[in-house]
Structure formats: C-alpha cells, structure tokens
Structure 1
Amino acid sequence: MKLDRRKFIKRILIAVAAIEALFLIKGSVNKVDTKSGAKDLFNAGKASSFDNNKLYPFLTGQFFLKRFEDGGFLAMSIKCTHLGCVVNTNSKTGGFNCPCHASQFDKFGAVISAPATRPLDIFPIKVENGELLIDTRKPVKRASFNKSQLTYA
C-alpha cells in the first residue's frame, strides 16, 4: 500500500482530532460536580491574620482578597470582565486597572471606566473554624456591589 503525502497528512489530522476529542471528553467527565467538602475550597488562612482595609493577592487561586474597614471580606477575581486580562492593583485609588484595554475598577470591583461593563466577578467565601475558604470553582457574576456580598468572620 503506497501512502502519498496527501493521505499521510489527512491521517495525521484525523489522529490529532481524535486525540483532542478524547481530551475534551475526559475533561468534561472530570468536571462533573460531586458532593465535595472543604477539601475542594481554597484555604486563604485564618481570618484573624488579615488586617482591615488591606488587599491580599492570591495569584494561585486567581483572586484578590479584600478586608474592608468594617471587617467584611470580598474575594474578587483577578480577571477583567471585558476580555479576561489579569488586572493590576492601583495603589492611588485602592482599586484595579486592566493593562490591556484600560478598564478601571474601584475597591469593591465596580466599574469606574469602560470598556468593562460589569464589576469583577466574586467568589463565595465560607468561614470554618476561623479559616477563610474560597470556592474558586464558582465565580459569581454581578451587576453592582452590594453590602450583602461581604462575608464576616
């Protein structure tokens, strides 16, 4: 059986597509939500170890943890809601800037200037035994900041 260049390339492309399909199927099976406990949550540490009115970046968890003046916690995504670029902190305003398209957010993650049209996503926070547990698997899209979004320890 003689294999010309066209048939060879066609078979390689089919093999690559089949392998990619297997990875997609495997990935969707692994993402099935099972009953899981705190072991699947990101442990940020003891609530008492965070100072009021300070911002703490957790790049491995892909969120900023902010403790406000009143002691409330908010875990905000590091991804801009415009196109997903990683936002930077703005030490002058206490908010965030997107380096890609210049969106600006205030200290609550609310939009100050476009092109972003909604605030930074937040992650649910649970407090167990004084530890802050952040569920980074479930970002919460929001239209604006509301004091009920804060978690108190």
Structure 2
Amino acid sequence: MSSQKIKQTVDNTPPIESKVRRSLLNGLWMALSGLALAEIAWLVGSFLKPLQSTDSSVQAADIIDAGPVDRFAPNSVTAFPPGRFYLACLEDGGFLALSRRCTHLGCTVPWDPERKQFACPCHASVFDIRGEVIQSPAPRALDRFAVSIENRRVKVDVGTPIRRSAFRKDQVAHR
C-alpha cells in the first residue's frame, strides 16, 4: 500500500516541466500585452499631436514674395498654391491677395479666366475678381491676406487670413 500512496502523491503534484512551461507562457503573455499597450499609447499620442506644415518656406516666415510688380498685368489673377491664395491685380493696378477657401463651407475655389470669376464647385457660390459674392450661398466675401509692396516687389503675409464681409478700397495695396 505504501507504493500506491507514493504513486498518488507523485501523480497529484504537477511535474516541474509543467510549472516551467506555465511560467514561460505567463511571461510571454505579459510581454505581448505590454507591447500592445505601448503601441496603443503611441497611436493615441500620434493622433493627438498637432500637424506641422511640410512647406518650410511658408512656415518659416509666413511672408511670400510674389514677385516684381511689373510681372502682373492689370485685371489678372495668379494662383500661389504654396501659400494657398490668389493674387489679384485689379484694373487700377492695385493688389489683393484672396484666400482659396469658399466662405460657405471651405471648398477650394478655382479662378475661371474666361468668365473672370471664382466659381465654387461644391455649392455654386460665385465671386468676382475682388472676392465679392456674386451668387450665394456664400454668406460673405472671400477672406484676404495682407499685401505690401516693398522695393517694387509684391509681398503677401499668409500667416493669418483676414476675415471680411465685403470689399473696401482700403483693402487694396497700390504700387
């Protein structure tokens, strides 16, 4: 009987190999869980981090040198994609930098040189060369950027768009 008792006692205790395997699997499970939590934390951190502009020329100074005054013909519009604006040279030779964003819902508004107007492709708002609303649903004129003329060169400050309700003559920079 003593041999049967010894067999039962030995059979009831888990073998050492089973304990080692269990602790190895527990350690592996903990390591993978920690790795998954670190990845989730990295993703959340990346999502919450503010975006940075990749265009260093605009980011550095927020001033874009559009070129010499003589480059722009009266009653013309020139697109500047890096600065996200149009430079309008009005009939009198004055300059107005207009935002490319429609004031209705923010769609990009292309210039139509044949019709001499900006036409929003999203909801059919139409603006004239000065950014004034010709056809709604846009509630107000296109936003503008500050323009200065230094040494016969046109410079546009694209740091902050200037919200406006309508066109005024004092918004134009003259040669």
What interval of TM-score do these two structures reach, taking the shorter chain for normalisation? 0.7 to 0.9
Matched, 1:61 2:83: yes
Which of residues 122, 133, 149 in structure 1 aligns to 2:155?
133
Residues 29-73 of structure 1: CA distance to partner in whole angstroms, max 9, x if unpaired?
xxxxxxx9xx54100000122111111111222111111111111
Aligned to 1:110: 132
Aligned to 2:12: none
1:91 partner amino acid: P
- Structure 1 Cα separation of the partners of residues 44 and 132 of structure 2: 42
Matched, 1:146 2:173: no
SS at the partner of 2:160? coil
Which of residues 34, 39, 42 in structure 2 aligns to 1:15?
42
Distance 1:61-1:7 versus aligned 2 partners, 3 A rule: same
Q: Which has the larger radius of gyration?
A: 2
TM-score under structure 1 length normalisation: 0.80
Structure 1 spans left out of the alignment, 5+ residues:
28-35
Aligned sequence identity (%): 35
Greater fraction of residues in helix: 2
Residues 8-49 of structure 1: CA distance to partner in whole angstroms, max 9, x if unpaired?
65553322112344x33x95xxxxxxxx9xx54100000122
Equivalent pairs, count: 141
Structure 2 spans left out of the alignment, 5+ residues:
1-26, 53-59
Aligned to 2:11: none
Aligned to 2:13: none
CA contact (8 A) 1:64 1:76 kept: yes
SS at the partner of 1:45? strand
Q: C-alpha root-mean-square deviation of aligned residues, in Å?
A: 2.4
